A and B are shown apart, each in its own frame.
Chain A
Amino acid sequence: MANVTLRNVRKTYTGGFEAIKGVNVDVGDGQFCVLVGPSGCGKSTLLRMVAGLETVTGGEIDIGGRVVNQVEPADRDIAMVFQNYALYPHMSVFNNMAYGLRNRGMKEAEVKTRVEEAARVLELAPMLERKPRQLSGGQRQRVAMGRAIVRQPKVFLFDEPLSNLDAKLRIAMRVEIRKLQRRLNTTSIYVTHDQLEAMTLADILVVMNGGQVEQIGNPLAIYEKPATTFVASFIGAPPMNLMSTRTEEIKSQLGGSAGDAGILGIRPEDFVITDQTPAGGVALPLTVEAIERVGAETFIYGSRAQDEQRVAATPGELPPGEVIVRIPGTEAPAIGQKIRVGAIRSKLHLFSGDGRSRIEA
């Protein structure tokens, strides 16, 4: 049991490229921390630094009250689950799980007990003698998990462990990982680019972009109050609609309350189709361009009449002038139809013109 603290952690490669630009994160004992961000944001690098697979060029990594910057991976008392599982292909499932225990000189009887216990928990008992190549993707994933849990480490590190599985299995394993972590109560750091995985697993969510932390906090708190436009469009699917407050149409509706805000954000599900303008809120006329029905809900892709000057700056953001509206059920307007959608005051998110800060009205 341990907490993990990152203090102003930096990583600069020899070429001068700065992959991690000073990250501060505090993961409490037994907490599940998820690092999420687009590819290249440095989340995997950060995890590998915690594991000891990458050197730390600045700041401190503290595991259980001990600064581990110079400690070998083997001596950090961590276990890691890799994206490609990294099982030892020439060893049986049993030996894969036992390897780390035997390396530490554990008695064979104890090794057997621990591996069999892990195999029981992960439902791997019938395949202990098989080689990894004889297993399915999901089973390999379980072996990788088993290899981590038999060690009973202070910290679990997960590097996109579910990205090689198909969609159904991914959801099932996601739930299992969460249950397992709750039961073992082991501090965990989990890297993913999937915002849904991030939202569902995390106690603490760390949204990263360009080697920096954009926002840290409880997943729902982040969803409800994104600190930057990057977080606003990255967390939530479909992404938040972002539009300039400078256009006449929106300026007039917001009135003085816009203040210094340059960007207005509204989540697709916060819109309702209505002829009225909600008091203090915003209404937009849209032309329906496309409809997506997924059963329980329907997504309406609309275009605004006004020209949108702002340019989509960050990945995952909608193209300017496009608005997504999410409505329950399957009833939707026809393509080409002109509609009005509105959102109430409390559902509006205001950001500074550069999108770097949130403005509370």
Chain B
Amino acid sequence: MQKQAIFQSKLLPYALVAPQLAIVLIFFYWPALQAVIQSFLLQDAFGLSSNFVWLDNYVELFRDPAYFEAIVRTFFFSFAIAVSSLSFALLLAVMADKPLRGSMLYRTLLIWPYAVAPPVVGVLWIFMLHPSLGVLARYLRAVGIDWNPLLDGNQAAALIILAAAWKQISYNFLFFLAGLQAIPKSVFEAAAIDGARPMRRFWTVTFPLLSPTIFFLLVVNIVYAFFDTFGIIDTMTRGGPGTSTVTLVYKVYSDGLLGGNLGSSAAQSVILMVMVIVLTGIQFRFVERKVTY
């Protein structure tokens, strides 16, 4: 087996990878480097001068209780979003895996929400659950729930989790369905003959055999909840009421662009960057090697 391609010219291979390299360098490494540099600087309010302050931005961040709150909140959101969207998607996938009429149609329909952009998801749910405009909000109040996510931080958080989880269900569903279809039908049949009732069959056969898919999706969903929920938060609550829906990513935006504290914002970006690297590392380490049963 020949693995090395032979090029006549020594420059040709470099020329061929150049466009890709240029994109990565300009759109990833340069801004990332900028963020790292910025995180060591302190800028005045008008952006006229900046001082090198070593690690002051970081030290200040870790002394700020609001930052810790944001970390805890982000982890809680991620956990809640991942667990709720994974479990609901798994339920749907198990149902859709059954050979029923029109399965192609409803499988397609179940996948569609993934094509909806996060800000649109936010607007959609706001229309349903806005305290004065929302259709569902009326019913909630009718059954005696004092529904006002614009004032109640917990309700706002629930709203964000609901919308973010809903959007991710399609993606998870797709993977779960593929995972289920990869298990030979005869294994379920053998379990049925072996006297396992449907619930027991699910927990002792289906669930363990899906564990590699579940782990993969868990990582993907956490990354999603960390970073891709920005659009949803921005359209639905803008981090409010108070700071009750400010996650790490939203804080980067609000401190930097709204608050004008570019140094702190950059330091937060760098911390987030490290988190992504760790998460991706975990994913590669386990997914590449596969969680085998």
Within 8 A of B (CB), among A47-95: 51-53, 72-74, 78-80, 82-84, 86-90
Instruction: List chain B residues, Cβ under 8 A from A51.
Output: 189, 193
Chain B positions 185 through 216: 1 when the CB is less than 8 Å from some CB of chain A, otherwise 0: 01101111111110010001100110100000
| B: number of interface residues (CB 8 Å) | 19
Inter-chain CA distance A131–B208, complex, in Å, is: 14
Distance A103 CA – B200 CA, assembled complex (angstroms) = 9
Contact A88 B191 (CB under 8 A): yes
Interface of A is mostly: loop
B195, B204, B211, most chain A CB atoms within 10 A: B195
In angstroms, Cα B184 to Cα A84, docked, is 9
CB within 8 Å for A147 and B186 given contacts A99-B204, A103-B200 = no
Would B193 and A74 count as touching, CB distance under 8 A?
A: yes
Chain A residue at minimal CB-CB distance from B205: A88
Smallest beta-carbon distance B140→chain A, Å: 43
* Cross-chain contact B194 with A74 (CB below 8 angstroms): yes
Nearest-neighbor residue (CB-CB) of B209 within chain A: A90
Residues of chain A within 8 A (CB-CB) of B192 are 53, 72-74
Q: Count A/B pairs, Cβ under 8 Å.
A: 61
Q: Are B189 and A53 closer than 8 Å at their CB atoms? A: yes
Contacts of B196 on A, CB cut-off 8 Å? Answer: 74, 99, 103
A84 in contact with B209 given A99-B204, A100-B195 (CB within 8 Å): no
Q: State A79–B194 Cα separation when bound (angstroms).
A: 8
Q: Bound state CA distance, A51 and B194, in angstroms?
A: 11
Task: Name the B residues within 8 Å of A79 (CB-CB).
Answer: 193
Given A74-B196, A84-B186, A99-B196, residue A89 in contact with residue B293 (CB < 8 A)? yes
Q: How far is the CB of B289 from chain A (nearest CB, A)?
A: 15
Q: Give 8 closest A-B pairs by Cβ, nearest first.
A: A90-B293, A100-B194, A86-B186, A103-B195, A86-B190, A74-B195, A90-B208, A82-B186
For this complex, 17 residue pairs linking A to B, each with C-beta atoms less than 8 Å apart, are: A51-B189, A73-B193, A74-B193, A74-B197, A82-B189, A86-B186, A86-B190, A87-B187, A88-B191, A89-B187, A89-B293, A90-B293, A103-B194, A103-B196, A103-B200, A131-B293, A147-B190
Residues of chain A touching chain B, judged by Cβ–Cβ distance below 8 Å, are 51-53, 72-74, 78-80, 82-84, 86-90, 99-100, 103-104, 131, 147, 151
Known contacts A51-B193, A88-B190, A88-B191; 4 additional CB pairs below 8 A are A74-B195, A100-B193, A103-B196, A151-B194
